[in-house]
């Protein structure tokens, strides 16, 4: 074993120990956490001890959903209703809800049953009033198969993440717009690959009804981030910013 390999091995072991220790502290002494103004019950059932470290005040690695938060803080227009696909445990859902102008509607869609339970708890802890739908994006509303990952808050309808799968209700954009009487809406997407299908299926709707979007891309074989960013741009959007694969877009036809 080379010296470099040995040092990297030691470094990784130290990081693992730090993560477990930080996660244990959050789990047993700091829960529920106040994370950037949002209360989160990290013991809600969907977050492993090691992954709770990201909610520890002195955790030195990437913060939870820091890319989305950064773009929301800089660019989110608060005078529009919001459709969010991939609500996770509810941190970003609640963060957005606290910013929206009174009277605007927010609809959150999340497919992972464990995350849905956490999201409900987050909504309650923070006194939010968004609507939460248990399901996954589906262009025509058919049920879809969700591949679950053992990692934190992860699952995909488009790529295999593990051998564990569940069938979930399909939720279409047209259904949401009809049920909640939305004509224009901000689009937030964090779907572990589902964003590619949504862009392919809904680019016309997105072009006509979405003044602003934040989309986190999760490339996999046959689907490249650049190709689909270009599709968004070709539909009349400009790219405002990008943080680690998460992009903010403004529709020049709908938003000054």
Give the tens place of pLDDT for each residue, 213-230. Answer: 999 999 888 899 999 999
Give the Cα separation of 10 and 94 in Å (integer): 38
Residue 147: its pLDDT value, please? 86
Tell me what pLDDT residue 146 has. Answer: 87
**Residue of 45, 43, 42, 36 whose CA lies nearest to 68:** 36
Helix (DSSP H) and strand (DSSP E) numbers for the chain? 7, 14
Which residues neighbour 221 within 8 Å (Cβ) at sequence distance 6 or greater? none
Report the percent of the chain where pLDDT is more than 70. 96
Task: Identify the helix (H) or strand (E) that includes residue 202.
Answer: helix 194-209
Task: Reduce the DSSP state of residue 136 to 3 states and report it.
Answer: strand
| Distance (Å, whole) CA 93 – CA 91 | 5
Place of tokens 């934040």: 214
pLDDT tens, the chain, 256 aa long: 687 787 888 888 988 898 899 999 999 999 999 999 999 999 998 888 988 988 887 665 557 899 999 999 999 999 999 999 999 999 999 999 999 999 999 999 999 988 999 999 999 999 999 999 999 999 999 999 988 876 656 788 877 877 788 889 999 999 999 999 999 999 999 998 899 999 999 999 999 999 999 999 998 888 999 999 999 999 999 999 999 999 999 999 998 8
d(CA 106, CA 132): 9
Interior/surface letters 146-164, b for 16+ CB within 10 angstroms, e for the rest: bbbbeebbbbbbbbebeee
In eight-state DSSP terms, residue 62 is P
| Cβ proximity of 67 and 243 under 8 Å | yes
215 near 235, Cβ under 8 Å? no
Phi/psi at 93 (nearest 5 deg)? -55, -50
Q: 3-state secondary structure string, 24-36? A: HHHHHHHCCEEEC
Any idea which fold 66-251 has?
Rossmann fold (3.40.50)
Model pLDDT, residue 2:
81
- For the beta carbon of residue 84, count every other beta carbon within 10 angstroms: 25
Instruction: Give CA–CA dist 120/124, Å, rounded.
Output: 6
d(CA 17, CA 19): 5
């Amino acid at each position: 074993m080379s010296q470099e390999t040995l040092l990297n091995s030691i470094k990784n072991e130290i990081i693992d120990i730090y993560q477990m220790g930080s996660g244990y502290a959050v789990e047993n002494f700091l829960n529920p956490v106040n994370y950037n103004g949002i209360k989160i019950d990290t013991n809600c059932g969907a977050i492993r001890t090691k992954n709770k470290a990201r909610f520890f005040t002195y955790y030195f690695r990437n913060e939870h959903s820091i890319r989305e938060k950064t773009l929301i803080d800089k660019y989110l227009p608060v005078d529009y209703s919001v459709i969010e696909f991939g609500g996770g445990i509810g941190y970003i859902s609640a963060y957005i809800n606290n910013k929206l102008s009174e009277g605007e509607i927010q609809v959150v869609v999340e497919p992972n049953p464990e995350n849905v339970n956490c999201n409900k708890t987050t909504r309650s802890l923070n006194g939010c009033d968004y609507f939460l739908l248990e399901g996954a994006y589906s262009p025509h509303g058919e049920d879809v198969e969700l591949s679950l990952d053992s990692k934190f808050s992860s699952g995909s309808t488009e790529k295999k993440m593990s051998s564990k799968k569940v069938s979930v209700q399909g939720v279409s954009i047209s259904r949401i717009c009809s049920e909640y009487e939305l004509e224009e809406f901000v689009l937030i997407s964090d779907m572990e690959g589902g964003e590619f299908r949504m862009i392919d299926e809904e680019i016309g709707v997105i072009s006509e009804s979405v003044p602003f979007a934040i989309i986190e891309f999760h490339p996999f074989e046959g689907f490249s981030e650049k190709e689909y960013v270009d599709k968004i741009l070709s539909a009349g959007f400009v790219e405002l910013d990008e943080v680690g694969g998460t992009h903010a877009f403004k529709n020049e036809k709908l938003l000054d």
